[in-house]
């Protein structure tokens, strides 16, 4: 138990956020990295607020000067209620940004971002990165995540222990170990405490007996869909064809099948095909599979023209399934030029083209 004096002392010296004094001078320490933007608003030794934001992908590809400029603008606009109408100081660890108002801007995006600072009364100061540690920490995230940290998201550490034992006897794992011992394995394969890692993720053999436990561990946490479950699996484990196993497991999950509902719009009413007005005015087509390919596409087109169009003329409509030959741009354009309307069946509903399907079966 801590004494009341110790508790009072810890409260007195704890670095809590302070209320702003609008009669005092505001200081902003900001920094930017490839991962994010970070800043601290303070007055003297009193911290007023923190700011941290992720960098969007297209901003991460920009030079450091423009990235620091974008972060500076975001910080000033975020703390506009504190800074607008008052003189304040911005400190950055980017030397060239100190002369932002005196430099000759060379690109349109630079002009756009600098124009967002107009109307603010501020001065720029350079602060070395070693003294700008708080803002620097807010703008970065850990790049290297150890296996132990990854394992915290998995319900049981026993899975990794069982994998270590399995790697000692599994044929695929032993082959990788031999390649590592002879320095012939790719650089992304490593071994830590008997556990084979692929880019930092535990390797799971194709014939592993631990697959049910692993899939239950990553799926039962939230009973998410195939894509999100696969993302959680790949954060800690590696398998070349994991997507197939995850998809089969999620589709067979009894909880998901009982509780989850479809979020699709109600299906429309099925419309019957119109009654043909004349012979050969509306036809149904389908391709018969299982025969040798002789002559190719040209022979099929010639047979269609010689035996159907030559004798009966152009049909008004053609009913077919959704094979690639019917959905291709060439076929669609050809039918548009000839004035033929293509009526394709619905997905997973071959009854629309049932006459030709029955004939070909």
Q: pLDDT by residue (tens digit) across 87-121?
A: 999 888 888 787 877 777 778 888 888 888 888 88
pTM here is 0.37
Percentages helix, strand, coil for the chain (3-state, rounded to 5) are 45, 15, 40
How much is the pLDDT for 148? 41
How much is the pLDDT for 87? 92
- Architecture of the structural domain at 282-360: 2-Layer Sandwich (3.30)
Give pLDDT tens digits for 13-50: 555 778 888 889 999 888 888 888 888 898 888 888 88
Statement: residue 229 has pLDDT above 80: yes
How much is the pLDDT for 146? 45
Helices and strands, number each (H, E), in the chain = 18, 12
Statement: residue 143 has pLDDT above 50: no
How much is the pLDDT for 345? 67
Cα dist from 237 to 144, 147, 221, 227, 244, whole Å: 16, 10, 16, 15, 14
Over residues 54-71, the mean pLDDT reads 84
CATH of domain 147-169+197-259: 1.10.340
Statement: residue 131 has pLDDT above 80: no
Over residues 306-335, the mean pLDDT reads 74
Of residues 155 and 42, the one with the higher pLDDT is 42
Fold of 11-138: Nucleotidyltransferase; domain 5 (3.30.420)
Of residues 288 and 160, the one with the higher pLDDT is 160
* H or E element, residue 257: helix 254-259
Statement: residue 81 has pLDDT above 50: yes
Over residues 172-193, the mean pLDDT reads 87
Domain boundary assignment for the chain = 11-138, 147-169+197-259, 282-360
- Asked whether the domain spanning 147-169+197-259 has the same topology as the one spanning 11-138, the reply is no
């Amino acid at each position: 138990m801590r004494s009341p004096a110790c508790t009072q002392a810890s409260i007195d010296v704890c670095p809590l956020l302070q209320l702003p004094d609008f009669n005092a001078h505001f200081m902003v320490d900001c920094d930017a990295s490839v991962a994010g933007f970070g800043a601290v608003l303070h007055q003297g030794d009193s911290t007023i607020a923190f700011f941290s934001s992720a960098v969007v992908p297209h901003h991460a590809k920009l030079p450091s000067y423009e990235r620091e400029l974008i972060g500076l603008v975001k910080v000033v606009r975020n703390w506009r209620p504190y800074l607008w109408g008052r003189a304040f100081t911005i400190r950055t660890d980017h030397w060239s940004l100190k002369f932002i108002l005196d430099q000759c801007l060379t690109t349109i995006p630079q002009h756009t971002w600098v124009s967002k600072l107009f109307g603010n009364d501020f001065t720029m100061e350079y602060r070395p990165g070693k003294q700008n540690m708080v803002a620097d920490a807010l703008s970065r995230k850990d790049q290297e995540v150890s296996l132990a940290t990854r394992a915290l998201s998995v319900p049981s550490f026993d899975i990794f222990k069982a994998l270590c034992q399995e790697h000692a006897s599994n044929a695929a794992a032993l082959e990788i170990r031999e390649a590592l011992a002879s320095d012939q394995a790719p650089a992304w394969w490593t071994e830590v405490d008997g556990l084979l890692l692929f880019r930092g993720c535990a390797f799971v053999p194709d014939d592993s007996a631990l697959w049910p436990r692993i899939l239950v561990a990553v799926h039962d946490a939230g009973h998410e869909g195939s894509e999100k479950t696969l993302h959680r699996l790949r954060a800690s484990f590696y398998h070349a064809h994991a997507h197939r196993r995850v998809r089969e497991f999620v589709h067979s999950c009894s909880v998901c099948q009982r509780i989850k509902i479809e979020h699709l719009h109600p299906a429309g009413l099925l419309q019957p095909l119109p009654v043909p007005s004349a012979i050969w005015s509306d036809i149904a087509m389908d391709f018969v599979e299982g025969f040798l390919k002789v002559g190719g596409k040209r022979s099929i087109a010639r047979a269609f023209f010689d035996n159907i169009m030559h004798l009966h003329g152009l049909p008004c409509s053609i009913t077919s399934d959704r094979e690639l030959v019917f959905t291709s741009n060439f076929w669609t354009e050809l039918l548009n030029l000839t004035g033929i309307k293509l009526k394709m069946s619905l997905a997973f509903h071959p009854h629309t083209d049932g006459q030709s399907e029955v004939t070909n079966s």
